[in-house]
Amino acid sequence: MLETVVKRDTDLGTPEVISDTLVTVTIDGYDISVPEGTSVMRAAALNGVNIPKLCATDSIEAFGSCRLCLVEIEGRRGYPASCTTPVEQGMVIRTETPKLHQLRRGVMELYISDHPLDCLTCPSNGDCELQDMAGVVGLRNVRYGYEGANHLQDQKDESNPYFTYDPSKCIVCNRCVRACEETQGTFALTISGKGFASRVSAGQDQPFMDSECVSCGACVQACPTATLEDKSIIELGQADHSVITTCAYCGVGCGFKAEMKGETVVRMTPWKDGKANRGHSCVKGRFAWGYTTHKERITKPMIRKSISDPWTEVSWDEAIGYAASEFKRLQGKYGRDSVGGITSSRCTNEETWLVQKLVRAAFNTNNVDTCARVCHSPTGYGLKSTLGESAGTQTFDSVMFTDVVIVMGANPSAAHPVFASRLKKRLRQGARLIVIDPRQTELVSSPHIRADYHLQVRPGTNVALLSAMSHVIATENLVNLDFVRERCEEKAFREWLDFVSLPENSPEAMQAETGVPAEQIRGAARLFATGGNGSIYYGLGVTEHSQGSTTVMAIANLAMATGNIGREGVGVNPLRGQNNVQGSCDMGSFPHELPGYRHISDDVTRHDFEKAWNVTLQPEPGLRIPNMFDAALEGTFKGLYCQGEDIVQSDPNTQHVAASLSAMECVVIQDIFLNETAKYAHVFLPGSTFLEKDGTFTNAERRISRVRKVMEPASGMADWEITCALSHALGYPMNYNHPSEIMDEIAALTPTFTGVSFDLITKMGSVQWPCNDQAPEGTPIMHIDEFVRGKGKFMITKYIPTDERSTRKFPLLFTTGRILSQYNVGAQTRRTPNVAWHSEDVLEIHPVDAEDRGISQGDWVGIQSRAGETVLRADVTTRVQPGVVYTTFHFPESGANVVTTDNSDWATNCPEYKVTAVQVTRVTQPSAWQHKWSEFNREQRALLKNRVTMDETPVTG
């Protein structure tokens, strides 16, 4: 049954004010007490009195331009605007008098005199604040005609693929401009012209697509008229109901309202009460949901004997039965450990739980892993070793209380844009910023923020840099000794202190390795240690290294040494890349861990699961993803069940991955498109999108949020039902009626989830684990009084240079990252209008390196490493430093991971995507791999297009 909510959120007019002092005022004869500093408008709204307004909304600061919210206040002259007037003790306010009615009607009459009277055909009809306010103030006629100057013939700007700008309907309320500034922090909009000529302008009177607009949708959300309107609303009309769910893109985990007509989504609007996003969004979550109904979606199960055969559409029973029989055959022939599974960070907690349960209980092996292996597995290892828990310590809101921020190996403006907006807001309020990154990101320098320090570290030398910063803190007596004595292991701290104090770890000694001047390192270390609340946010530029786990430990050491753990505004905060990468780890997707990060060899934990699941589990860890690939090429790993993960495009050394899959006898893919991995599959089980799911996602701040089904699965089966069916066919029945029952099992077997239920999440909106008897409503901030492990443990973090170092043959260092408009392997975003911003991956190269190679802007360049070669178009830019080249990995034909090697983190096998030694040369044609890929892609698409049904009728769609 679909859950619906009211269409429009309550808008209290101005933002909430936090104050311990209450002020009592009288509004229309009723006394009300509100926090000091609250606006008259908000105070009235809290008392159920909604003062008319147009320029005011509670997501941005009051502006006082529309003059519709006038009130009378005893003892004051005139009619002040209620949005900009704060309450005072004893104030007596009247919101409805004959004079106020007259003034408001006069104001509204002026607005309407230069506004199209096309309400019945306007796309905002029924959802227009101007229309509502005209009714509220009782406007019945307009004395001013259109004979004089007006804006009715102004031309629309249709350049943006997602929304229209119609200046003829603009009332110049400034809400869009302020939303762009305050909420998003891009400052792309302004009011151009003066007086009658004033109108909203993108950039320097540019089309929206040519301006700095990032299409986050904040301006569209803020607009009270049809001036800025979703094209989907123009095409499909207004919604009749909405469902609250959670975005399926990055690890921020934004809450959204899916606005619906029947089972058709007409708009996704950020949920005002979403704890992770606070009513904000980015271009992906707000607009890029069209892939869910894309024509390329596969909705029928398919099987084939060989990857050179055409696909055959079959019934669900036959597809499940065939997959199960193949897995049984392989285990019978090659042994129990010849098969395994990979869970997805894009699927729900409940779906992930079932996949690892299927592998352990139905396959009776621990050969299960997750894509977190190739992104944040070092986070789990490093934070578990030092702090005792494999997750970030704070809420996103905590950044608003920080004084000094380190952003290391992350580009939140591109990869976590909603969090980035909140971070930038805090920076504009005066927080200091240290960016540690080989590349110059937007945070380093932009019109309204600037980093105090940009430590442009050479790729692969993160540990050296953090050791040098720690050396400064240790040798200049900047360690918070009170915190360390109370909270940390004394012996480990003393060993760490002696280690980082060694001269070999000084900034001067390390600058040759890191490429960062010693004085910059010293300045940044002093700032972080003495600047107040210090917080650290990091991304894949930390973890995807041969010393990824070591770097995470070094970050934790730095936080403990400065006492920046356990309160608001501090902490160690991994920025998780995918919507449920935290959850996929929590659910026990690693071959050595059961859910809750408990080792499979622990007899007590294992016996708890055995009793609950009525099965005997294997006590030895299974194969990691890289081990599965190697075993496949050795002939001992023959079958794979992969749910929602495109390992061919996303994992390193693409040719090695493809060869491994080719060596397997049964690859079962559960997904929504024929992605790169599915081209090597023998069974395709059509998956469901987030709009077709019930369950939960867990974001980067450990926040568990509901995912609610707004439409039935196009394939007829939800992902959790498919896994249950496969398990049943393998001889191990799983009996659930709804994903809520799966969560109940998760809670029963996972100590950090014992209090979690769908009912609690619905009641609270979301909940952060640990949620148990000690924290029945969750844990926003970790490690407040003591660390999860008891005492924090400092770890020795010796710098060991990576094998991937520049050489005469491969003199440049190749690194990768994300871009705002695209997501991960691009399977979703490439099937939306987001390609208007980014339609290909390009190689960023510094002008010095480009000139040395005779490369100009836009040239085709070959990138060669010891693993392979690909060709991209060159972008000559100073965003990268000399000696470093950079690209994104959103398009399969780009082959970024053809170049990356199998070098990996020493502890977790997380691939070293961020450091690959390469040579770059100017070329005139695609690489040999790209020619091969193009041919294989054509073949596989032809086999899909020519698929047959059971009655051998070709399918040509």
Does the CA dihedral 419-821-205-858 come out positive or negative? positive
Q: What does the alpha-carbon distance between residue 230 and residue 336 come to, in Å, rounded to a whole number?
A: 54
Query: What does the block give as tokens for 570?
Result: 């501090």
Q: Give the torsion through C-alpha atoms of 480, 484, 486, 492, to 10 deg.
A: -170
Task: Say if 466 falls within a structural domain.
Answer: yes
Task: Say if 379 falls within a structural domain.
Answer: no
Q: Same structural domain for residues 629 and 721?
A: yes
Residue 937 has a CB neighbour count (10 Å cut-off) of 15
Strand partners, 571: 535
Within 8 A by CB and 6+ apart from 361, the residues are 613, 615, 617, 727, 732
DSSP string, 42-94: HHHHHTT-----SS--TTS-----S--SB-EETT--S--BTTT-B--TT-EEE
758: left (phi over 0), alpha (psi -120 to 50) or beta: alpha
From residue 812, how far is each of 546, 803, 886 by CA, in Å? 18, 14, 10
Task: Say if 414 falls within a structural domain.
Answer: yes
Q: What does the alpha-carbon distance between residue 256 and residue 244 come to, in Å, rounded to a whole number?
A: 6
Q: What does the alpha-carbon distance between residue 436 and residue 442 come to, in Å, rounded to a whole number?
A: 13
Q: Same structural domain for residues 397 and 426?
A: yes
Strand partners, 35: 22
Degrees, nearest 5: CA angle 593-596-598 = 40
388: left (phi over 0), alpha (psi -120 to 50) or beta: left
For residues 723 and 785, the answer to whether their CB atoms sit within 8 Å is no
Q: Same structural domain for residues 511 and 655?
A: no
Degrees, nearest 5: CA angle 549-553-557 = 170
End-to-end CA, the chain: 32
- Write the CATH number for 827: 2.40.40.20
Residue 230 per-residue DSSP state: E
β 255-261/241-246 pair status: antiparallel
For residues 69 and 1, the answer to whether their CB atoms sit within 8 Å is no
Q: Is 589 helix (H, G, I), strand (E, B) or coil?
A: coil
For residues 73 and 85, the answer to whether their CB atoms sit within 8 Å is yes
DSSP string, 366-388: --EEEGGGGTTHHHHHHHHHHTS
> Looking at 555, 574, 593, which one is the last position of a domain?
574
Q: Please give the pLDDT value at position 951.
A: 59
Q: Same structural domain for residues 510 and 599?
A: no
β 199-202/189-192 pair status: antiparallel
Q: Same structural domain for residues 587 and 661?
A: yes
Task: Say if 545 falls within a structural domain.
Answer: yes
- Extended strands (E) in 823-908: 842-845, 860-864, 869-876, 884-888
Nearest to 870 by CA among 845, 851, 889, 847: 889
Degrees, nearest 5: CA angle 543-544-547 = 70
Task: Say if 637 falls within a structural domain.
Answer: yes
Give the count of domains, the chain: 3
From residue 805, how far is each of 374, 439, 899, 903 by CA, in Å? 21, 18, 14, 11
Q: Same structural domain for residues 735 and 830?
A: no
For residues 71 and 91, the answer to whether their CB atoms sit within 8 Å is no
Residue whose structure tokens are 């309020």:
429
Longest distance between any two alpha carbons in the chain, whole Å? 92
DSSP string, 491-543: HHHHHHHHHHTSGGGSHHHHHHHH---HHHHHHHHHHHHHSSSEEEEE-HHHH
Does the CA dihedral 850-851-853-855 come out positive or negative? positive
Task: Say if 497 falls within a structural domain.
Answer: yes
Q: Same structural domain for residues 517 and 553?
A: yes
Task: Say if 871 falls within a structural domain.
Answer: yes
Q: Same structural domain for residues 568 and 661?
A: no
Query: What does the block give as tokens for 861?
Result: 């360049």
> Looking at 574, 601, 621, which one is the last position of a domain?
574
Query: What does the block give as tokens for 867?
Result: 């693993």
Q: What does the alpha-carbon distance between residue 864 and residue 878 come to, in Å, rounded to a whole number?
A: 22
Q: Same structural domain for residues 413 and 498?
A: yes
Task: Say if 29 falls within a structural domain.
Answer: no
Estimate the crossing angle of helix 654-663 against helix 625-634, to 10 degrees: 60
Nearest to 812 by CA among 824, 820, 804, 800: 804
The kind and range of the H/E element at 426 are: helix 417-428
Strand partners, 599: 593
Degrees, nearest 5: CA angle 899-904-909 = 125
β 199-202/869-876 pair status: unpaired
Q: How many alpha carbons lie under 13 Å from residue 743 in its C-beta half-sphere?
A: 24
Estimate the crossing angle of helix 462-475 against helix 518-530, to 10 degrees: 60
For residues 797 and 550, the answer to whether their CB atoms sit within 8 Å is yes
Within 8 A by CB and 6+ apart from 353, the residues are 587, 588, 595, 742, 745, 746
From residue 119, how far is each of 66, 124, 132, 252, 359 by CA, in Å? 21, 8, 11, 38, 58
β 812-817/884-888 pair status: parallel
- Write the CATH number for 482: 3.40.228.10
144: left (phi over 0), alpha (psi -120 to 50) or beta: beta
Query: What does the block give as tokens for 415?
Result: 């990869």
Strand partners, 33: 24
Q: Same structural domain for residues 364 and 327?
A: yes
Does the CA dihedral 121-122-124-126 come out positive or negative? negative
Residue 179 per-residue DSSP state: I
Within 8 A by CB and 6+ apart from 48, the residues are none
Structural domain that includes position 857: 812-943
Q: Same structural domain for residues 451 and 536?
A: yes
Q: Is 181 helix (H, G, I), strand (E, B) or coil?
A: helix
Query: What does the block give as tokens for 806?
Result: 């520049």
How confident is the chain (957 residues) per 10-residue block, as mean pLDDT? Answer: 57 93 95 95 94 94 93 94 96 96 93 90 93 92 78 90 95 95 95 88 92 95 95 95 95 96 94 94 96 95 96 96 97 97 95 97 96 88 94 95 97 96 96 97 92 97 98 97 96 97 97 96 98 97 94 97 97 93 94 94 96 96 95 97 94 94 97 96 97 96 96 96 98 96 97 96 96 95 94 96 92 95 94 95 98 97 96 97 96 94 90 94 96 96 88 48
Backbone torsions φ then ψ of 383, nearest 5 degrees: -75, -35
Q: Same structural domain for residues 543 and 585?
A: no
> Looking at 574, 598, 631, which one is the last position of a domain?
574
Q: What does the alpha-carbon distance between residue 871 and residue 923 come to, in Å, rounded to a whole number?
A: 8
- Write the CATH number for 596: 3.40.50.740
Estimate the crossing angle of helix 719-729 against helix 349-357, to 10 degrees: 10
